C-alpha cells in the first residue's frame, strides 16, 4: 500500500477508536505511532449516542464491547473526515500458548462492513508466527518509514509501555494513567485520598472496567460505598508468570485465552497467598461473552471454597443504574456483616491450581 504524502507541515493522521484494546495498549500504540511521525486522534469517551450507533451496526449476539467499538469507529470517522488511516490492530497471540478472543483476531476484517471507513493501518501481533518487532517494521512501511526507524520506534514504545506498567503496579488506576498518557505528563501518583474499610478485587477486561459509560461508572459506585479496589493491572508481574491448571483432578487443562488466563492467575493468588489482602471479588462480564462466562463459573466455585465473597455482574446496553446500585450496596453490606463475624464460608476442593 502506498503511504499518503507527508510534508513537514502535515503529518499522516491516524484515528484510534477508544474501545476494546485501547484500554490495554493505548500508551504503546501512541508512542509507536508518534515515533513514526504520525498524528493521532482518538474518539471521545463512550456516550449514549455512540452505543446506539454501535448497536445499530452490530448484529444481535455480538458482545457489547465490540458494538461499542463500531460506534466509536463511526464517531471517529464522522468527527475527522480527513483521517488518512484508521488503526485497527489484529491481536492473535501476545505470548506463546495463548490466543486472544476470536473477536480480536477478526477485527480488521469485520469492520470493513461499516460505511465510510478509511484505509486501515495494519498491525498484527502474532508471536506464534513472528516477533512484534516485525509487525512494527510492517507498520512503518505503511507509513513510509524504513526498517531502522520502525525498530527504533518499537524500542521506544516498549520502554514507555514498561514505565506505564510500573506506574500501574505502584497503584495508579488505568484511567488516571491513560489521562497522563494523553496529555503527555510524567507518571506521578496523586495524593492518597481517605481509605475505605473494605477492599475488593475488581475483575474483568479493561474495556468493561475502564469504560465508565458502559459500566455505569462502577468504580465511582464502589468509592461512594467507602470501598477501595484494585484491578489486575495493579498486581505484581510475578503473579502472571506461572500458568494456571483448571480441574486438577482430570486431564491437565490449560486456559488458552490470554485475558482469561490473566484473570485466573490473579484469582489463584487471592485464593492462596493473597487471601487476606482483599474482602471480596467483583467480576464485570459482558453479556454474550463466551470466554468470561466459562471462567466465571470456575471462579465462583473456588470463591465458595475459601469463603471469599464473589459478585458477578453481567452488563449490556440495557443495564440499569438502580438495579446495579442495589446489587453493589447489598454486596458491600453483606461483607461488612461478614467482617463483623456474622457470615462463614463453605470449604471444599479448589479447581484452580498452579502448573
Ligand atoms: S472476550 Fe468476550 S467481551 Fe471481549 S471481545 Fe471476546 S466475546 Fe467480547
Q: Ligand 1 mean position to 205 CA, how many Å?
A: 8
Which three cell numbers mark 73? Answer: 469507529
Interhelix angle 132-142/147-169, nearest 10 degrees? 120
Domains of the chain plus CATH, in order, are 13-169 (3.40.50), 194-354 (3.40.50.2300)
The pLDDT score that the predictor gives to residue 347 is: 46
Q: Is 284 in the pocket of ligand 1 (CB under 6 A)?
A: no
Question: Residue 292 CA: which ligand 1 atom is closest?
Answer: 2
Q: Is 63 in the pocket of ligand 1 (CB under 6 A)?
A: yes
Q: Ligand 1 mean position to 90 CA, how many Å?
A: 14
The model's pLDDT over 245-304, given as tens digits with 9 standing for 90+, comes to 876 566 667 778 889 999 999 999 999 888 889 999 999 999 889 888 888 988 888 888
Contact 183, 27 (CB under 8 A): no
The model's pLDDT over 314-347, given as tens digits with 9 standing for 90+, comes to 998 887 888 889 999 999 999 998 888 765 444 4
Contact 353, 244 (CB under 8 A): yes
The pLDDT score that the predictor gives to residue 256 is: 80
SS3 195: coil
Cα maximum dimension of the chain: 70
Contact 201, 270 (CB under 8 A): yes
Which three cell numbers mark 187? Answer: 507518571
Which three cell numbers mark 68? Answer: 461499542
Q: Ligand 1 mean position to 46 CA, how many Å?
A: 17
Q: Is 101 in the pocket of ligand 1 (CB under 6 A)?
A: yes
The pLDDT score that the predictor gives to residue 352 is: 57
Q: Convert 183-209 to b/e letters by CB count within 10 Å (16 or more is b).
A: eeeebeeeeeeeebebbbbbbbbbbbb
**Which string of DSSP letters, residue by residue, matches 104-136?**
HHSHHHHGGGSTT--EEE--EEETTTS-HHHHH
Helix (H) or strand (E) holding 45: none
Q: Which residues of the chain have pLDDT under 50?
A: 344-348, 355
Q: How do strand 253-254 and strand 244-246 relate by DSSP bridges?
A: antiparallel
Full-prediction pTM beyond 0.75? yes
Amino acid at each position: 500500500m502506498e503511504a499518503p504524502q507527508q510534508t513537514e507541515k502535515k503529518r499522516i493522521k491516524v484515528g484510534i477508536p477508544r474501545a476494546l484494546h485501547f484500554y490495554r495498549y493505548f500508551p504503546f500504540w501512541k508512542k509507536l505511532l508518534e515515533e513514526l511521525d504520525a498524528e493521532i486522534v482518538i474518539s471521545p469517551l463512550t456516550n449514549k449516542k455512540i452505543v446506539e450507533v454501535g448497536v445499530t451496526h452490530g448484529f444481535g449476539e455480538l458482545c457489547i464491547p465490540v458494538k461499542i467499538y463500531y460506534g466509536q469507529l463511526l464517531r471517529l470517522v464522522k468527527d475527522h473526515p480527513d483521517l488518512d488511516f484508521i488503526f485497527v490492530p489484529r491481536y492473535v497471540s501476545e505470548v506463546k500458548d495463548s490466543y486472544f478472543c476470536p473477536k480480536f483476531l477478526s477485527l480488521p476484517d469485520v469492520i470493513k462492513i461499516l460505511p465510510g471507513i478509511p484505509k486501515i493501518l495494519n498491525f498484527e501481533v502474532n508471536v506464534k508466527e513472528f516477533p512484534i518487532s516485525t509487525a512494527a517494521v510492517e507498520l512503518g512501511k505503511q507509513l513510509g518509514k524504513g526498517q531502522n526507524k520502525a525498530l527504533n520506534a518499537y524500542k521506544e514504545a516498549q520502554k514507555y509501555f514498561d514505565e506505564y506498567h510500573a506506574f500501574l503496579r505502584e497503584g495508579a488506576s488505568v484511567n488516571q494513567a491513560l489521562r497522563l498518557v494523553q496529555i503527555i505528563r510524567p507518571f506521578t501518583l496523586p495524593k492518597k485520598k481517605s481509605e475505605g474499610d473494605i477492599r475488593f478485587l475488581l475483575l474483568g477486561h479493561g474495556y468493561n472496567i475502564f469504560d465508565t459509560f458502559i459500566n455505569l461508572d462502577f468504580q465511582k459506585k464502589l468509592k461512594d460505598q467507602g470501598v477501595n479496589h484494585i484491578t489486575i493491572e495493579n498486581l505484581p508481574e510475578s503473579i502472571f508468570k506461572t500458568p494456571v491448571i483448571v480441574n486438577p483432578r482430570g486431564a491437565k487443562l490449560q486456559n488458552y485465552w490470554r485475558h482469561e488466563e490473566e484473570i485466573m492467575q490473579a484469582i489463584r493468588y487471592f485464593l492462596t497467598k493473597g487471601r487476606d489482602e482483599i474482602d471480596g471479588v467483583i467480576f464485570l462480564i459482558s453479556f454474550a461473552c463466551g470466554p468470561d462466562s466459562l471462567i466465571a463459573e470456575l471462579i465462583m466455585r473456588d470463591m465458595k471454597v475459601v469463603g471469599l465473597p464473589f459478585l458477578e455482574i453481567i452488563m449490556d446496553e440495557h443495564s440499569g443504574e438502580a438495579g446495579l446500585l442495589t446489587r453493589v450496596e447489598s454486596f458491600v453490606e453483606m461483607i461488612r456483616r461478614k467482617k463483623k463475624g456474622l457470615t462463614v464460608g463453605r470449604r471444599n476442593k479448589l479447581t484452580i491450581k498452579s502448573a
